[in-house]
Structure 1
Amino acid sequence: MAEKAAAYDVARGGWSETRTCVVLGGRGFIGRTLVNRLLRLGGWIVRVADSSSHSLLPDSSSGSDSLLSDAISSGQASFCHVDVLDTSQIVKVTTGADVVFYMEPTDLDAHDFCNCYMIIVQGAKNVINACRESKVKRLVYNSSADVVFDGSQDILNGDESFTYPGKFKDMTVDLKFQAEGLIRVANNIGGLQTCVLRPSNVFGSGETQFVPLLANLSKFGLARFITGSGGNMSDFTYVENVAHAHICAAETIDSRVVSVAGKAFFITNLEPIMFWEFISLILEGLGYQRPFIKVPTWMVSYVVILSQYIHDKLSYRMYRYSVSPHYIVQLASRNRTFDCSAAQKHLGYSPVVSLEDGIKLTVASFSHLSKDSSFMRFGNFDEQSKAEKLLGSGIVADVLLWRDERRTFMCFLILALAFYWFFFCGKTFTSSAAQLLLLVTAILYGYGILASDLCGFAVQNIPSSCFEIQNSDMKNSIRSISYMWNRVVCSIRLLAKGEDWSRFFKVVAFLYLFKWIVSFSLAVLVGIILVFAFTAFFIYEQYESVIEGLWAVLLFGIMESKGLIISTLPESVTAFLRNDNGSHQEKVHFS
């Protein structure tokens, strides 16, 4: 299919001679794919220009870069370091070129406004001026569908006539919108014809932000959450299709000047999909669990705002992406689909790689980020739950986890009657215990003197082993008590030395909780324990993944708050804590 599309690209323009093109940003995500596609098509001499000199040299071990290495050896391709802030460098590399494909960097720091403005806006001005000076005829600019989306409203099947937002919430999107305007206004001035492409949510191999971010969130259990209802639709575009669209634009800009030159076109895979279904397919392909916990959008927004506030206070930038986290939240919770019919009609564009194949190729390229252990879609139900392991995987676990509903109900009924007998009969605890012991003795004695055959029913004797305690069980119980006692003594000894602040705060928190618990009456306390035992473990087992996900978010918030609190403490206190912690770790290491 790719070979058929390649032949179609070459034939449709009617070019017989070899053409020269420049790919500005040719070592970036989209630029690298475009370079490889041009080399596969043939008929192009490709000049790869990029400002990242450290990434210019191709990796011969990579399949795509081996193609580029062969092209360099044969003279079909060449490298050049170009700073878009230096017009003379752009003029030098574009002189004699027929087409310039301009892809700006995607790894800009969204916190640095000055740098972003110079690279995106001033860089676009410099590229336009350089193309005019070097007599380049065609300039194809890679913009983004983000320039019509501000997160305040849904976009369903939006076309190129869609009204631009009055104000962008993301700074880099605002700057890209300005650069796009400069490119379009420059059309037909000085013999330069321009075209702008707006791909939506580009993904594929070589991408350095989206998929790695998902993998990192999954490793910390934070990718289990769905922002909003989870039913919002989005358009995604495989990177190979974006490269194909650029070539289509370069081929048609001469033959269809009126309908193509100076225009902007949305580029998609023509296969709208639910945003969170797409995320789930990527995560499942990497072996992680698909998101399933729905969280309100406003709650996620507040968490992002709080996280950014904390990191700003700590003068530490957690995020280094081309768009802000708040903008990502809007993308994940809004409908955002586009009408690609204009690109189909005027550029002759159609996807060369389907969405399904694009996802498979993307997952395969990120195999190094996959989860170590295999993952089944709905989990492994044969594996013991944590609640069952905690309860010992025996009779107690079967009762409290409601594995046998009849046995569980009988146990609960007996305990409820015992609770009523001891606490609500108006007697003292001792008299209630004595009467209960008397009642049990009378029942056992009466059962023991019954005949073996009573009215045709066989009466089985109760074996004496039911009342015996095995020596091994008694030894294990005494061993457990001894172990717990020794741990308490060890903790007291460490506290007495005053060297472990972490243990001190844990003990204080435990004692405060114990004080709060014993402040209740014994009847209330026993009643709470009884209800808790027969409900909490069962609920935890049913919603284990949800509870663990919420716990992971809570721990993340605690760690963030801890850093903020430490930053507000006096320097002497923080220095003392650091030294104390370091000395303690050293002692633990050498002990």
Structure 2
Amino acid sequence: MAIEVPFGDLNPKTCAVLGGRGFLGRSLVFTLLKLGNWIVRVSDSPHSLQLHLTDSSDSFLNDAISSGRASCHRLDVLDVSSIVKAIEGASVVFYMEATDLWNHDFYYCYKIIVQGAKNVINACRECKVRKLIYNSSADVIFDGSHDICNGDESLPCHWRFEDMLSDLKAHAEAVILFANNIDGLLTCALRPSNVFGPGDTQLVPFLMKLAKSGFAKFIIGSGENMSDFTYAENVIHAHICAEEALDSQMISVAGKAFFITNLEPMKFWEFVSLMLEGLGYQRPLIKFPASMMWYVLLFVKWTHEKLGFKKYNHSLSAYYFRLASHTRTFNCNAAQKYIGYSPVVSLDDGIALTIDAFSHLVKDPSFIRCTNFEEQSKVDKLLGSGKVADILLWRDEKRTFTYFLCFAMLFYWFLLSERTFTSSVAKLLLIITTILYGYGILPLEISGFTIQRISLSWFEISETVVKDSVTFIAYLWNRWVNKNVRLLAQGEDWNKFFKVMFSLYFLKLILLRSMTLVVGMVGIALVFSFTAFFVYEQYEPEIDGLGKILLDRIKESKRLLMRNLPETVASFLQNKRIL
């Protein structure tokens, strides 16, 4: 049975929503139909026009179509005739262009965004449409390298953008605003900042993808950068306000662009933390230098290009990197003054509603998501799949950080304190003895808090453990002697000889050098242990592929070398298995 929503007046207005099945388009259509004084022409690609009646908004739209308050139309922004059919009879056009264009090339994006905007303008002029409202973006004045603090509409476009889509969006906005008051067409543009909400296809899904991969635990930069976020329903409200203002405040609104936010700037990483925590993921904790992260992104991009992977989207990652490491806040005084905009949903409520809308995608909120354990990784097998693997692969951040801190303190105590090893051990034992004695003389209860005594078993080492340890050390020694010394003594393996020789020579260089080199090597090994294994597990296919390429290059160089050597030398080296 159709849901009847009475018209607000006897002469309902007709509007067309281009891109009416997208993230913001669906919300705009739903809101306009709920108002009751609109006949809505929903336009989008044929595939997007398929309705799913199990969805409440689609069911509502289906009822509106049945009652004649809505209609669906195929849209191709590259075909002016299809745009004319979609907007024919409408007095207002809301242009919500396609947003999922990150995976397409420049030529395709230019046709859809810039040429599409020109075609929409031509179709509006042909159909005598009176008002065209374009959903732009705050990105059109962000060059990707400079902070924006309380920026207003007086800020100029730099026309030098770090990402392609912002560049094209700025051109499309300029084209639409320039078309104002030509053939009676009134235009304006809205610039929402960091739009999110139920049905979001960009910001929230990207954050969830990072969380599932394990990289959302890192804070890029200082984490103090501020950002403005806009809940989707507030963007829709701004469009309706702009449509009314084009009549009542035509001189102040027509041909202008307006920033739209929730008027509640907050730290970018606080927003990310609230969103991820609400979805059952861990909030970001580890600060990572922005410059270093940028080099990591460049390395990942280079790796994917070399290995031919299509999965990685560098443009999208680079865009969010710039977003996450810069301050971007905007002044909405003009929108409040001229189009009468004010948020209808607070930021806290918007975050809560978004979390609720995406909660069905969280299969196991209690699980700490670092990687997919359904298939054991190579590095997990290498580390023994036990406690060492859990620590070095950051599966329990608190535990890993505790171990890293302990190792760093020992590193400082024994190597950086400028004391001898013996004096360092003596002082450490003195501190431990003092702490244990002080703990032992404490009363059994202090202010109602019971002091647990240390059991003597904590300091005992069982005979079995000692025997097993000695046996294991002897096993390793015998195995090494059996495998290496025996081969060297027989003089049959030149590869083994050169490996041992270079290893011993390298050890000699380390011992001959100053203590600074030794300290540096140990420090590098410490950092390497807690970073390299984790990074390798996250990018195992790419790193393996890169290793395969390097190995193939080495083999190819070896073949070229053997080909250019004299035949007798090459034969000798081949027989001795040196090359």
TM-score (norm 1): 0.68
AA aligned opposite 2:317: P
Match of 1:182 among 175, 180, 184: 175
Distance 1:113 1:388 in 2: 44
Q: Could you say what the CA RMSD is over the residues aligned between the two structures, in angstroms?
A: 4.5
Distance 1:418 1:310 in 2: 45
Whether 1:239 and 2:232 are equivalent positions in the alignment is yes
Contact 1:212 1:369 in 2 (8 A): no
Helix, strand or coil: the match of 2:101? coil
Q: CA deviation at 1:286?
A: 1.2
- Larger relative contact order (Cα-Cα within 8 Å, sequence gap ≥ 6): 1
Distance 1:233 1:209 in 2: 20
Question: Per-residue displacement from partner, 1:364-383 (whole Å, max 9, x unpaired)?
Answer: 1111333614279xxxxxxx
Whether 1:143 and 2:136 are equivalent positions in the alignment is yes
AA aligned opposite 1:54: H
Contact 1:154 1:334 in 2 (8 A): yes
Question: Per-residue displacement from partner, 1:105-129 (whole Å, max 9, x unpaired)?
Answer: 1111355011000000000010000
Distance 1:475 1:306 in 2: 48
Distance 1:386 1:290 in 2: 23
Whether 1:331 and 2:323 are equivalent positions in the alignment is yes
AA aligned opposite 1:340: C
Residue matched to 1:197: 190
Residue matched to 2:569: none
Unaligned runs of 5+ in 1: 1-5, 377-384, 391-396, 403-408, 410-414, 421-464, 493-507, 541-545, 575-591
- Identical residues among aligned pairs (%): 54
Distance 2:109 2:334 in 1: 31
Distance 1:319 1:102 in 2: 30
Range with bigger deviation, 362-371 or 351-360: 362-371
Unaligned runs of 5+ in 2: 369-385, 392-401, 408-413, 415-420, 427-456, 485-497, 557-579
AA aligned opposite 1:33: S
Match of 1:358 among 330, 333, 350: 350
Residue matched to 1:499: none
Match of 2:542 among 560, 567, 573: 560
Distance 1:195 1:361 in 2: 29
Question: Per-residue displacement from partner, 1:1-41 (whole Å, max 9, x unpaired)?
Answer: xxxxx99xx99xxx652111111111111111111111222
Contact 1:222 1:552 in 2 (8 A): no
Whether 1:152 and 2:145 are equivalent positions in the alignment is yes
Helix, strand or coil: the match of 2:319? helix
Question: Per-residue displacement from partner, 1:417-443 (whole Å, max 9, x unpaired)?
Answer: 9999xxxxxxxxxxxxxxxxxxxxxxx
Residue matched to 1:444: none
Distance 1:417 1:270 in 2: 60
Distance 2:334 2:183 in 1: 27
Range with bigger deviation, 166-175 or 66-75: 66-75
Whether 1:17 and 2:11 are equivalent positions in the alignment is yes
Contact 1:288 1:371 in 2 (8 A): no
Number of equivalences: 469
Contact 1:147 1:164 in 2 (8 A): yes
Cα–Cα, structure 1 residues 569 and 133, in superposed 2: closer, same or farther, change >3 Å? farther
Question: Per-residue displacement from partner, 1:135-194 (whole Å, max 9, x unpaired)?
Answer: 111111000000011022111111111122141121111111111011001111111111
Residue matched to 2:21: 27
Residue matched to 2:65: 72
Cα–Cα, structure 1 residues 117 and 166, in superposed 2: closer, same or farther, change >3 Å? closer
Whether 1:249 and 2:231 are equivalent positions in the alignment is no
Residue matched to 1:56: 49
- Superposed counterparts of 1:375-390, under 5 Å: 386=387
AA aligned opposite 1:183: I
Question: Per-residue displacement from partner, 1:367-402 (whole Å, max 9, x unpaired)?
Answer: 1333614279xxxxxxxx947999xxxxxx99x979
Residue matched to 1:38: 32
Q: CA deviation at 1:519?
A: 9.3
- Superposed counterparts of 1:144-543, under 5 Å: 144-320=137-313, 324-370=316-362, 372-374=364-366, 386=387
Distance 1:418 1:329 in 2: 44
Q: CA deviation at 1:516?
A: 6.7
Contact 1:304 1:326 in 2 (8 A): yes
Range with bigger deviation, 362-371 or 234-243: 362-371
Question: Per-residue displacement from partner, 1:473-524 (whole Å, max 9, x unpaired)?
Answer: 68977997999899999x99xxxxxxxxxxxxxxx99999899779988xx9
Cα–Cα, structure 1 residues 111 and 300, in superposed 2: closer, same or farther, change >3 Å? farther
Cα–Cα, structure 1 residues 187 and 484, in superposed 2: closer, same or farther, change >3 Å? same
Match of 1:126 among 106, 113, 119: 119
Helix, strand or coil: the match of 1:161? coil
AA aligned opposite 1:220: S
Contact 1:20 1:98 in 2 (8 A): yes
Cα–Cα, structure 1 residues 32 and 165, in superposed 2: closer, same or farther, change >3 Å? same
Contact 2:307 2:542 in 1 (8 A): no
Helix, strand or coil: the match of 2:345? coil
Contact 1:20 1:44 in 2 (8 A): yes
Distance 1:219 1:389 in 2: 17
Contact 1:215 1:369 in 2 (8 A): no
Distance 1:105 1:486 in 2: 68
TM-score (norm 2): 0.69
